Structure 1
Amino acid sequence: MRIAHLFDHAHALPTIPKVVHQLIQSFNHEEVSIDEIASQITADPVISAKLLRLANSAYFHVTHKVSTVDDALRMLGFVMVRNLVVGSGLAGGFKATPSLNLNQFWSYCLGTAVTARWLGRLAGENTDLCFTVGLTHAIGELVMHAAMPEQMLFMDRTCSPIDPRRAEMETQSFGYHYADVGAELARRWHFPDEITEAIRHVPSPLEDESGGKVAAIVHLAAWRARVSEYRLGSEELVASYPGDVGQRLGIAPTWLPELAAEHAHLKPKAVMPPLEELLGGLQDLLH
């Protein structure tokens, strides 16, 4: 099945609230009415309640209670509020399929997003952009599962949807992989080119000739999230580390304690806290 034909399937796209559609459209508009966005979010009691719960989580370290959508926009910024609302809408918008554990999938994506934001700060990149790409980088998997469930069931039995070999195996079977599909979805939703192209190159960031760092950051973050989901031990963690990607970013392999122990001769610039601590309550985004 060609990529374009995937989107002809009735369930290929998520069922998401109107306000999430409107926020997705805002990615490609420089002039956005914050007041209008606030009123749209407020009009959806489920989304606004979840936003306030997330805004008051430990992740954001707010000094005052966030009581309204206006408070959230003022204290977290429009881009992060949009990330939270869109992420929440997408997490609840795709239907479960027999071979895909949606809870694990979105837990992995959220772990990738918060790690990418942390690494983005370390690499001097746009942290909100890193978070957005991290959260959405694997969404093509959901489109593929919805459009061709039988083929994906067979694929899932061979290789987990979050396995690092997945893109190569999908390319061998279909001629494209989940990141190609995710980039096409982002294009159809009018995401900015920098998001679309970053999503496309996450599986193989060293092949990205544009020289952008976001795909490499998310690739590294996805590795860290995968380590957590698979509960890899220290030896497996060290052995699987994509050092060539870290080198491309100029990030020394000392940002995790397990890696720092293997490179004691290098002085750590910063060490990432445990992923559970870094998530800081953002898991509510998935429920």
Structure 2
Amino acid sequence: MELNTLIERPLALPSLPRAVALLMSELGQPEPNLRRLNQFFGLDPVLAARLLELANSPPFRLTRRISGVPEALALLGTAPLKSLVSTATLGGSSRSVPGVNMQQFWRYSLNTAKLARSLAVLVRRNQIAAYSAGLLHALGELAMHLGDPEHALAVDTLVAPLDLRRAKVEQRLLGYCYVDVSAGLARRWQLPEIVVDALQHQNAPFENNAYEPLGGVVHLAAWRARALEAEMDNRELTVSFPDKVGLALGLDIDMVLQQDPIDWTVRADSDDYLV
């Protein structure tokens, strides 16, 4: 399937059932708590993406585009939020996205977002945009598995969806990878360029005349989160560390590892699965 065809294809990307339930409960309150809404929307890549798409749509668009959940919530009222959440496609079953362990995907995406936000502080970049880019960066993988399952599952036979080599294998076999799909979706949703560029350049933020520090932040955050899922030991971490990206940002492996959130997400269904 061609990249543009996949990006334009209507897909029902699944949301984390717990996040949907928490949001419906909070939005049912007489005065929903903005802090809780921010936490719950920030749990799930699809809900966050749909929220940002809505906030950047013509009926709500401001002079500048909205890059994060807190800004979107400050703009939107309760009614559009209820409508958005009530129409979410629930995931969670083994058939939600063939070939993808959704519990792992949600955990991995949240950990990437948390770490991207922490690293953005170190390199003095936009923390809100970093969190959004980290949370949304792998949505292209879900779109590829849902929109073109035959080719996605063929890649799965060579490398797992969260393998560090995934993008290179997809690029070699398909001519594009999940990075291109994630960025294309973000562009279609009219997300701000700061997020789109971070997504587009996350794999090679400082190559081919590119200079995308926020893409570098997402690159390092995704590396750490994937390494965590793979349970890499110290030697494997050292060997696989993307030192060129780290050097460009002024970050070495120790600085990245020291940013591990103290509340690494362990289970997607636990009470600690919060931002």
Same structural fold, with TM-score higher than 0.5 when normalized by the shorter chain: yes
SS in 2 for 1:124: coil
* Partners of 1:91 and 1:106 within 8 A in 2: no
Query: For residues 81-120 of structure 1, what are the structure 2 equivalents within 5 Å?
Result: 92=91, 96-120=96-120
| Alignment partner, residue 268 of structure 1 | none
Q: How many residue pairs are counted as aligned between the two chains? A: 229
AA of the residue aligned to 1:30 = L
Partner Cα separation in structure 1 for residue 124 and residue 89 of structure 2: 28
| Alignment partner, residue 214 of structure 1 | 214
**Residue number among 39, 47, 51 corresponding to 2:78 in the alignment:** 39
Compared CA separation, residues 19 and 40, structure 1 to 2 (3 A):
farther
| Alignment partner, residue 57 of structure 1 | none
C-alpha RMSD over aligned residues: 3.3
Partner Cα separation in structure 1 for residue 147 and residue 2 of structure 2: 11
* Partners of 1:114 and 1:279 within 8 A in 2: no
Partner Cα separation in structure 2 for residue 116 and residue 205 of structure 1: 14
Partner Cα separation in structure 2 for residue 21 and residue 45 of structure 1: 8
> Deviation at 1:24?
1.9
> Deviation at 1:275?
3.8
* Partners of 1:138 and 1:179 within 8 A in 2: yes
> Deviation at 1:124?
0.7
Compared CA separation, residues 235 and 3, structure 1 to 2 (3 A):
same
* Partners of 2:216 and 2:245 within 8 A in 1: yes
Partner Cα separation in structure 1 for residue 177 and residue 153 of structure 2: 15
| Alignment partner, residue 241 of structure 2 | 241
Structure of larger gyration radius: 1
- Unpaired stretches in structure 2, ≥5 consecutive residues: 21-46, 64-70
Compared CA separation, residues 139 and 25, structure 1 to 2 (3 A):
same
| Alignment partner, residue 14 of structure 1 | 13
AA of the residue aligned to 2:196 = T
Partner Cα separation in structure 1 for residue 119 and residue 89 of structure 2: 24
* Alignment deviations for residues 78-100 of structure 1 (CA, whole Å, 9 cap, x no partner): xxxxxxxxxxx688599723311
Partner Cα separation in structure 2 for residue 116 and residue 187 of structure 1: 20
* Alignment deviations for residues 249-279 of structure 1 (CA, whole Å, 9 cap, x no partner): 012332256xxxxxxxxxxxxx32x445255
> Deviation at 1:42?
6.6
AA of the residue aligned to 1:283 = Y
| Alignment partner, residue 273 of structure 2 | 283
| Alignment partner, residue 30 of structure 1 | 62
* Partners of 1:137 and 1:199 within 8 A in 2: yes
Partner Cα separation in structure 2 for residue 136 and residue 99 of structure 1: 19
Worse-matched range after superposition: 93-102 or 206-215: 93-102
> Deviation at 1:209?
3.2
Partner Cα separation in structure 1 for residue 248 and residue 103 of structure 2: 32
> Deviation at 1:154?
1.6
* Partners of 2:123 and 2:249 within 8 A in 1: yes
Compared CA separation, residues 282 and 25, structure 1 to 2 (3 A):
farther
Partner Cα separation in structure 2 for residue 115 and residue 180 of structure 1: 22
* Partners of 1:3 and 1:181 within 8 A in 2: yes
* Alignment deviations for residues 196-225 of structure 1 (CA, whole Å, 9 cap, x no partner): 121011112222634220000010001110
| Alignment partner, residue 26 of structure 2 | none
Compared CA separation, residues 157 and 23, structure 1 to 2 (3 A):
same
> Deviation at 1:230?
0.8
AA of the residue aligned to 1:40 = A
SS in 1 for 2:160: coil
